């Protein structure tokens, strides 16, 4: 077992030595690492001593063991962040644009980056969180800056490369979907190791698991490959600039504007990591697992067959009725979800797809109808879309950020 202690009164290396000696003198402590710079000590042992014994040992050495205080400031900040998150969700619709036709301005990139940073919590927040919560370190902020520097560097390099190319270039959707799935599964695995349900040593993956000082930096470097709609929108803008300096600048500014939200997730991980106790570690593991499950289910590799299974088990593949020669289906947008009133149509018969929405649409608007390669802004142009499905299968309907999706089945 390992535990972190906050020690008050240390000012030099001599203090470190005194505290270390005092801690090692307590029954159950097998090793101790002490830092006067951070005012912390990490102790290890099979069965760690009680707070009372530790406090007596530290005070006998002339120092004080700080008591844990209820983090009212943290609770207030988190509450405020949640309020801001839901309040600004409605801005997604008003700040969407066609990156191939819109003139690039600094103000546009800054505004888009700030609003998209909320989306970043859903896409990459779990990864950022795990870089701080998965390892005991003396200086957690170092891991924060390492991850952010790797992420922003990868964004900037991708902008430079795309600006140099000046032509259509995309990473294979299958590759990004696999990357998303692997990241989600790894976070689930990590959560199981955090609560000791799985005990496996993988030295070759230490930089991913967080044991290496450079681990967060390498993880950040992979962020430019994530299948994130807002990120890919900026990359298309960098591509359209046909200028490596402008392309790199666009991605650099976008990376800086999305940093605050991800830093907050890393800070949350560091705060949880700093609190002692088995229960807190279980809470941290649950959070990592939930984010990993969310990321895994977001990958179409898992989402598509799972959706098929749910539809078959619940019998929700209700055929759309034919009205005036058209199979009529309505897509309803409500609080960040897609709801089809009918989930199945017949091949060879025209389909009239209508739209409706209420409340905050979040990233669900505009809607990407991938089967006809068309983006529809429901708020600005809610006119029905008419098409004729020629083959059986399923038609994907996904949000412009590639986060929310549903399927229309063709029989």
Are 110 and 194 in a shared domain? Answer: yes
Q: Residue 185's pLDDT is what?
A: 82
Where does a domain end: 298, 327, 349? Answer: 298
Confidence (pLDDT) at 216: 82
- The phi and psi torsions of 377 (rounded to 5 degrees) equal -90, 105
Does an H or E element contain 98, and which? none
Q: Hunting for tokens 């004080």 — which residue is that?
A: 64
- Parent domain of 386: 305-410
Give the total number of structural domains in the chain. Answer: 3
- The pLDDT value given to residue 192: 76
Regions in the chain scoring below 50 on pLDDT: 74, 89-102, 168, 201-212, 276-277
Q: Are strands 405-410 and 344-345 parallel, antiparallel or unpaired?
A: parallel
What is the C-alpha separation between 147 and 284, in angstroms, rounded? 19
- Boundary (domain end) residue, out of 267, 298, 329: 298
Q: Find, among 134, 284, 268, 53, the residue nearest to 43 by Cα.
A: 53
- Let me know whether 105 and 236 are in one domain: yes
Contact by Cβ (8 Å): 336, 90: no
The candidate with the shortest Cα–Cα distance to 227, out of 376, 399, 112, is 399
324 and 401 share a domain?
yes
The angle at the Cα of 71, spanning 66 to 136, to the nearest 5 degrees, equals: 65
Q: What are phi and psi of 41, to 5 degrees?
A: -145, 140
On whether both 280 and 311 belong to a single domain, the answer is: no
pLDDT per position as a tens digit, 66-79: 876 555 554 565 56
**Token pair for 266:** 């890393």
Strand partners, 338: 333
What's the rounded Cα separation, in Å, for the pair 3 and 41? 8
pLDDT, position 285: 67
Task: Tell whether 224 and 259 lie within a shared domain.
Answer: yes
Model pLDDT, residue 238: 80
Query: pLDDT digit string (tens) for 325-348?
Result: 999 999 988 767 788 888 889 999
Residues 142 and 217 in one domain: yes
Q: What is the pLDDT of residue 221?
A: 85
Write the CB contacts of 99 (distance below 8 Å, at least 6 apart in sequence).
233, 234, 236, 237, 240
């Amino acid at each position: 077992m390992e535990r972190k202690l906050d020690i008050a009164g240390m000012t030099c290396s001599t203090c470190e030595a005194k505290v270390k000696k005092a801690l090692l003198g307590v029954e159950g402590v097998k090793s101790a690492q002490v830092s006067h710079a951070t005012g912390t000590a990490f102790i290890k042992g099979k069965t760690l001593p009680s707070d009372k014994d530790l406090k007596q040992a530290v005070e006998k050495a002339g120092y004080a063991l700080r008591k844990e205080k209820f983090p009212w400031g943290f609770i207030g900040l988190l509450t405020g962040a949640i309020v801001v998150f839901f309040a600004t969700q409605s801005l997604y619709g008003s700040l969407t644009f066609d990156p191939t036709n819109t003139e690039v301005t600094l103000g546009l990139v800054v505004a888009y980056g700030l609003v998209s940073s909320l989306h970043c919590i859903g896409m990459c927040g779990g990864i950022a969180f795990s870089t701080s919560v998965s390892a005991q370190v003396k200086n957690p902020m170092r891991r924060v800056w390492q991850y952010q520097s790797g992420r922003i560097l990868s964004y900037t390099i991708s902008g430079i490369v795309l600006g140099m190319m000046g032509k259509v270039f995309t990473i294979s959707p299958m590759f990004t979907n696999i990357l998303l799935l692997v990241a989600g599964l790894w976070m689930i695995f990590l959560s199981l190791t955090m609560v000791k349900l799985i005990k496996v040593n993988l030295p070759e993956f230490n930089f991913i698991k967080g044991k290496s000082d450079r681990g967060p930096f390498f993880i950040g470097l992979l962020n430019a490959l994530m299948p994130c709609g807002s990120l890919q929108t900026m990359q298309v803008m960098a591509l359209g600039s046909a200028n490596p300096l402008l392309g790199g600048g666009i991605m650099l500014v976008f990376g800086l504007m999305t940093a605050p939200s991800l830093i907050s997730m890393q800070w949350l991980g560091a705060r949880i990591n700093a609190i002692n106790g088995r229960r807190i570690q279980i809470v941290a593991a649950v959070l990592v697992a939930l984010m990993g499950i969310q990321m895994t289910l977001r990958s179409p590799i898992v989402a598509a067959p799972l959706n098929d299974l749910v539809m078959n088990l619940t019998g929700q593949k209700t055929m759309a009725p034919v009205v005036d020669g058209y199979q009529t289906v309505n897509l309803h947008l409500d609080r960040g979800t897609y709801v089809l009133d009918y989930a199945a149509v017949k091949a060879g018969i025209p389909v009239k797809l209508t739209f409706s929405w209420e409340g905050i649409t979040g990233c669900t608007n505009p809607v990407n109808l991938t089967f006809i390669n068309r983006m529809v802004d429901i708020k600005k142009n809610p006119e029905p879309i008419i098409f004729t499905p020629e083959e059986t299968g399923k038609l994907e309907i996904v949000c412009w950020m590639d986060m929310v999706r549903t399927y229309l089945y063709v029989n």
